[in-house]
Amino acid sequence: MAWYKAYERKQKDISEEGQVIADVRQVVRNVSNPFWLMREVSRYWEDCVIVSPDSVRDRFQQKLIALCRQYNLEIRD
């Protein structure tokens, strides 16, 4: 089973695109609190990308940078 099939659709999901292209499934969600989205996405860390809105994507990036600093990991561009 591919990782993208592991996502369990919730009642509050707006849509889960039926098409899977190159092992990518797009899931669109209503999010009232980004904190809980981060917790939910954490199960899929390396297999998931927050695409929008930019404010949530930026918040995730800041958390990731803080985590790298916590473990003395250097971030290279």
Label residue 11 by pLDDT band (50, 70, 90). low
**For the segment 18-57, what is each residue's pLDDT rounded down to a tens digit?**
556 677 777 777 778 888 888 888 888 888 888 888 998 9
Q: Which of 5-14, 47-56, 66-75 has the lowest mean pLDDT?
A: 5-14
Residue identified by tokens 């250097």 is 74
Distances (CA, A) of 14 to 8, 66, 72: 13, 31, 39
Q: Which pLDDT score, from 0 to 100, does residue 2 have?
A: 45
Distance CA 31, CA 29 (A): 6
